[in-house]
Structure 1
Amino acid sequence: MKEPLTDELLQELLDAPDPKTFADKHRIKERNLPEYLQQLLDEKGLTRAEVVRKAGLNDTFGYQIFMGQRGASRNKVLQLAFAMGLSLKEADRLLQASGANELYCKNRRDAIIIFCLDRGYGLQRTDEELYRFGEETIC
């Protein structure tokens, strides 16, 4: 499912008679972590077991995140993002769905993570880059 461009949605919102009309039309609601994780699994043809393993998470803990039974720290969400091979936009949406701050390019650590996501680096290589620059690793 292709999402409309933000600029197009913004203009439509500004032209709408009220915010509720706009939100109802586009079925806009707060995205939650388990729903978005499932959407990503479906879109990318991945399995939970595969993602939990690639993310280096404990099986039980990983499944609890996917089921919405446990919250996840920002680093755990980033582990999932790298394990799923997400784009920067998808990773930011995942962070947002978890209630964490999106990646911010003016933050040195986040800038390294953004660079690595953009280049398609895996979790291990990203941690190596963070370590090389003296930043806290994800795992």
Structure 2
Amino acid sequence: MKEPLTEELLQELLESSDPLRFAEKNNIGKRSLPEYLQQLLDEKGLVRSEVVRKASINETFGYQIFMGQRNASRDKILQLAFAMGLTLKEANRLLQAAGANELYCKNRRDAIIIFCLDKGYSLQKTDEELYRFGEETIC
């Protein structure tokens, strides 16, 4: 299911007579990390085990993240984002679902990561770019 644009949701909210009904109808604030990860797998036709492998995350730990049994650091979430080939918007939604800060272009390290996501760089290439600029790598 394609997610509506923020502007579309805002317009619907402003036209709504009941904010609670709007929130329930649009599933606002109810997306968990495991739910969003599964949604992305389904939308992109990806396999969890392959994503975990590409993300260079321990198989057991990766499974626990997908099942909601373990919390993941911001960098682990970014590893999954790169392994899934996410857009910047999808990566930020994933970070948000995990309770982590979204990528922020005024932060030097985040700016490099944003650039790499936008260019479709692999996780390894992104780590190389971060290293080249003297920033902490993701992995």
TM-score range, shorter chain: over 0.9
Output the CA distance in 2 between the equivalents of 1:71 and 1:47. 20
Letter in 1 for 2:32: N
Q: Percent identity?
A: 81
What is the CA–CA distance in structure 2 between the aligned matches of 1:49 and 1:28, rounded to whole Å?
A: 29
Match of 1:13 in 2: 13
TM-score of the aligned structures, taking structure 1 as reference length: 0.96
TM-score by length of 2: 0.96
Long gaps (5+) in structure 1:
none
* Separation (CA, whole Å) in 2 of partners of 1:109 and 1:78: 12
Q: Secondary structure of 1:65's partner?
A: helix
1:71 is matched by which residue type in structure 2? Answer: N
For structure 2, the 5+ residue unaligned runs are: none
What is the root-mean-square deviation in Å for CA atoms of aligned residues? 1.0
Shift of 1:11: 1.5
Structure 2 match to 1:68: 68
1:101-130 per-position Cα deviation (integer Å, ceiling 9, x unaligned): 000001000000000000000000000000
Segment drifting more, 53-62 vs 29-38: 29-38
C-alpha distance in 2, partners of 1:102/1:120?
18
Q: How many angstroms does 1:2 deviate by?
A: 2.0
C-alpha distance in structure 2 between counterparts of 1:27 and 1:94, whole Å:
16
| Residues 1:44 and 2:44 aligned together | yes
